[in-house]
């Protein structure tokens, strides 16, 4: 008989079990994924994700943690939706634990008045192995979720194999094509004069992202939301490195990229957003800001070993820049949804 405990800041032992469960599951299904340390778990719980309410449960078989459930309820938009993440320890799979966690999820989602559940699983693509043996997609289907057919691919840059000559060549070509633009760089807090443009670019990226049949409306991003994300990320121990390109004639920020690292895992970083305003595409600004930002990060994080980034399978422009920089596919993901 399973029991479920809701993770809270006041129960340190449970927080540690939650972190250990996540790390064990990730190292099985996504080998090489950065671990969740107890301190990270504490900070994530204390400083939640801005614009969301989250519930976290750990499932126990007797004293032993065997799985976890995370439900994220968006609070500012997408008010019908709930995002689920269900994980079961590899050694106890196929014993009905996932199904019980899903039943608990549905109970919580219905209690919150939400009508659509969305989830993500690992996925198999040519040349990219799924380490869960196909369990995620089979489970999602068995729970009645439909495949959105919008694969995402995570690529990794292994810094021990960095080709500096190739990066120099990319950068020179980008510089030559981007006359009339100048680079700006900042850390975890954007300069006040850029924050409106950052909100515009962030919102633009979300609007442009391919959503297929997924019942997701673009998030509304404004300057206050940008600041809330910065505060939450910093409180959670994240260190950000940003590079942008300003169009000199208009003074507007028209390209932007961000790499974020967690203070707990000096060997790892995430290449997050990169966006060029559609009106300013064709000047190699994407390559310009990405290479400049990578160099900024390499200087500041000497113990860094790898950088991971995820792109929609169909985002050929960004993928070609990433491949040119040396990023190579490691994992693929698929999105799922069900109307309740
Ligand atoms: N192959 C085929 N069907 C499977 C498999 C598999 N490996 N695993 C689960 N299923 C299907 C079956 O229909 C199964 O019913 P059955 O055993 O009566 O045939 C049904 O799913 C329920 O299986 P459970 O035993 O309840 O699932 P389990 O406890 O093994 O957990 C899970 C499944 C969560 C997918 C686990 O393998 C896991 O943690 N994988 C990695 C993370 C992941 O992909 N999570 C799912 C995200 S989708 C979501 O959250 C809604």
Last residue of a domain, one of 91, 113, 147: 147
Closest CA relative to residue 329, chosen from 180, 124, 186: 124
Could you tell me if 61 and 204 lie in one domain? no
Q: Are residues 48 and 166 in the same domain?
A: no
**Structural domains counted in the chain:** 2
Residues in the ligand 1 pocket, defined by CB under 6 Å = 25, 29, 84-88, 93-99, 102, 119, 121, 132-136, 138-140, 142-143, 145
Which atom of ligand 1 sits closest to the CA of residue 102? 51
Whole-number Å distance between alpha carbons of 313 and 37: 31
pTM: 0.93
- How many whole angstroms separate alpha carbon 157 and alpha carbon 324? 11
Q: What is the pLDDT of residues 128-185, one digit of tens each?
A: 989 999 999 999 999 999 999 889 999 999 999 999 999 999 999 999 999 999 999 9
Q: Whose CA is nearest to atom 37 of ligand 1?
A: 135
Instruction: Report the nearest atom of ligand 1 relative to the CA of 88.
Output: 39
The verdict on residue 56 lying in a domain is yes
Q: Write down the ipTM of this complex.
A: 0.99
Mark whether 141 and 16 lie in a shared domain: yes
Q: Is residue 251 part of a domain?
A: yes
Q: Token digits for 104?
A: 């608990």
Same domain for 318 and 169? yes
Give every CB contact of residue 240 below 8 A, 6+ residues apart in sequence: 187, 188, 230, 233, 258, 259, 260
Are residues 89 and 138 located together in one domain of the fold? yes
Question: What CATH number is associated with residue 67?
Answer: 3.40.630.30
Tell whether 39 and 127 lie within a shared domain. Answer: yes
Whether 106 and 194 share a structural domain: no
Spatial separation of the C-alpha atoms in residues 80 and 74, rounded to whole Å: 9
Q: Is 116 exposed, middle or buried (0-12, 13-18, 19+ CB in 10 A)?
A: middle
pLDDT tens per residue across span 54-77:
999 999 999 999 999 999 999 999
Residue 242 and residue 300 in one domain: yes
From first CA to last CA, the distance across the chain in angstroms is 27
Q: Which domain holds residue 273?
A: 155-330
76 alpha-carbon distance from chain centroid: 19
**Within this chain, do residues 197 and 123 fall inside the same structural domain, yes or no?**
no
């Amino acid at each position: 008989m399973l029991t479920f405990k809701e993770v809270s800041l006041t129960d340190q032992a449970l927080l540690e079990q939650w972190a250990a469960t996540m790390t064990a599951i990730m190292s099985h299904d996504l080998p090489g994924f950065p671990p969740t340390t107890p301190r990270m778990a504490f900070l994530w719980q204390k400083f939640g994700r801005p614009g969301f309410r989250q519930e976290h449960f750990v499932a126990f078989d007797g004293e032993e943690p065997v799985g976890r459930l995370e439900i994220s309820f968006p609070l500012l938009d997408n008010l019908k939706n709930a995002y689920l993440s269900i994980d079961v320890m590899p050694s106890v799979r196929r014993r009905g634990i996932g199904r019980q966690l899903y039943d608990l999820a549905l109970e919580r989602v219905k209690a919150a008045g939400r009508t659509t559940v969305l989830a993500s699983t690992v996925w198999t693509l040519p040349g990219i192995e799924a380490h869960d043996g196909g369990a995620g997609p089979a489970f999602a289907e068995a729970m009645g979720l439909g495949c959105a057919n919008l694969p995402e691919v995570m690529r990794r840059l292994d810094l021990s194999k960095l080709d500096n000559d190739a990066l120099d060549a990319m950068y020179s070509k980008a510089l030559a094509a981007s006359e009339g633009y100048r680079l700006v760089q900042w850390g975890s807090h954007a300069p006040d004069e850029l924050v409106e443009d950052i909100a515009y670019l962030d919102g633009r990226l979300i609007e442009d992202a391919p959503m297929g049949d997924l019942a997701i409306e673009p998030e509304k991003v404004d300057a206050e939301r940008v600041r809330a994300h910065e505060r939450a990320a910093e409180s959670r121990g994240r260190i950000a490195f940003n590079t942008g390109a300003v169009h000199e004639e208009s003074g507007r920020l028209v390209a932007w990229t961000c790499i974020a690292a967690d203070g707990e895992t000096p060997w790892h970083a995430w290449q997050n957003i990169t966006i060029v305003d559609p009106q300013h595409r064709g000047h190699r600004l994407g390559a310009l800001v990405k290479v400049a930002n990578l160099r900024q990060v390499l200087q500041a994080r000497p113990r860094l070993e790898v950088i991971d980034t995820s792109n929609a399978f169909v985002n050929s422009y960004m993928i070609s820049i990433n491949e040119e920089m040396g990023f190579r596919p490691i994992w693929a993901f698929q999105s799922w949804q069900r109307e309740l």
